[in-house]
């Protein structure tokens, strides 16, 4: 039961993008086409799930055991960077078109604060191993959900007559704010 709670909480109620405002950079940067947004979401989900799976043992079995938990930031960043490298290699091999479409945002998953935030929250909330992996996966699903919805809206707006001062990033940020307000509606879904 707790696993389901963690999943719903991380993907909807405490959506990383729309309630914690983590990972805004790719959220605004890669959300102009739904196809790319979905792929970016999937890549990030993959990295997040693996991050949870890798950083939890590092934290519990190395940092806590040898009494150096203050190294968590460094250790997590190293692990995330390595995972992103792996994903980058894989995408470059399997789909050069996607590799070009994601462009700079793919290596930037390394510094995506949502990924690091996930690892830190996982430690902060004392999740066990299974819970951590579910949490990582759910966070990725939440990120994918947000970025795909955003790209859907932005694709529709391509054909709209937008006043000049609102064009581009400014309107994207306004939409992000409205989506965040809409997501607040999920707050009543689970008590506590």
| Residues contributing to the site for other proteins (CB under 8 A) | 58, 62-63, 66-68, 71, 74-75, 78-79, 82, 85-86, 89-90, 92-93, 96, 164-165
Q: Do 143 and 24 contact (CB within 8 A), yes or no?
A: no
Its sign, for the CA torsion 60, 65, 66, 69, is positive
22: left (phi over 0), alpha (psi -120 to 50) or beta: beta
Tokens of 56: 């939890």
- Residue nearer to other proteins on the CB measure, 2 or 92: 92
Tokens of 188: 């009543």
Rounded to a whole number of angstroms, the minimum distance from the CB of residue 32 to other proteins is 14
Q: Minimum Å distance from CB 157 to other proteins?
A: 21
Which stretches within the chain are classed as H helix? 2-8, 24-29, 34-57, 72-94, 96-102, 113-124, 129-157, 169-183
> How open is the CA angle 28-116-53, to the nearest 5 degrees?
120
Query: Are 116 and 20 a contacting pair, CB within 8 Å?
Result: no
C-beta of 85 vs 170, nearer to other proteins: 85
- Residue 128 or 167 with smaller CB distance to other proteins: 167
Considering beta carbons, is residue 13 or 123 the nearer one to other proteins? 123
| Whole-angstrom Cα Rg for the chain | 17
Dmax of the chain from CA atoms? 60
Least distance (Å) between residue 110 CB and other proteins: 13
Closer Cβ to other proteins, 95 or 128, answer by number: 95
**Shortest Å, Cβ 120 to other proteins:** 17
CB of 50 to other proteins, least distance (A): 12
The least CB distance from residue 126 to other proteins, in Å, is 21
Q: How far is CA 65 from the centre of its chain?
A: 29
Length of the chain: 192
Which residue lies nearer to other proteins by CB, 67 or 159? 67
């Amino acid at each position: 039961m707790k696993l389901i709670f963690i999943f719903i909480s991380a993907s909807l109620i405490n959506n990383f993008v729309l309630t914690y405002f983590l990972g805004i950079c790719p959220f605004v940067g890669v959300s102009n086409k739904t196809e790319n947004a979905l792929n970016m979401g999937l890549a990030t989900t993959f990295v997040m799930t693996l991050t949870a799976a890798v950083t939890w043992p590092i934290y519990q079995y190395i940092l806590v055991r040898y009494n150096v938990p203050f190294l968590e930031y460094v250790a997590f960043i190293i692990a995330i960077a390595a995972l992103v490298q792996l994903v980058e290699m894989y995408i470059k091999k399997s789909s050069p078109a996607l590799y070009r479409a994601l462009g700079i945002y793919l290596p930037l998953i390394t510094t995506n604060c949502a990924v690091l935030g996930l690892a830190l929250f996982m430690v902060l909330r004392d999740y066990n191993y299974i819970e951590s992996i579910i949490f990582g996966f759910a966070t990725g699903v939440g990120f994918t959900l947000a970025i795909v919805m955003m790209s859907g809206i932005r694709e529709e707006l391509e054909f709209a007559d937008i006043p000049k001062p609102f064009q581009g990033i400014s309107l994207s940020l306004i939409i992000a704010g409205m989506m965040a307000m809409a997501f607040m509606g999920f707050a009543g879904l689970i008590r506590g």
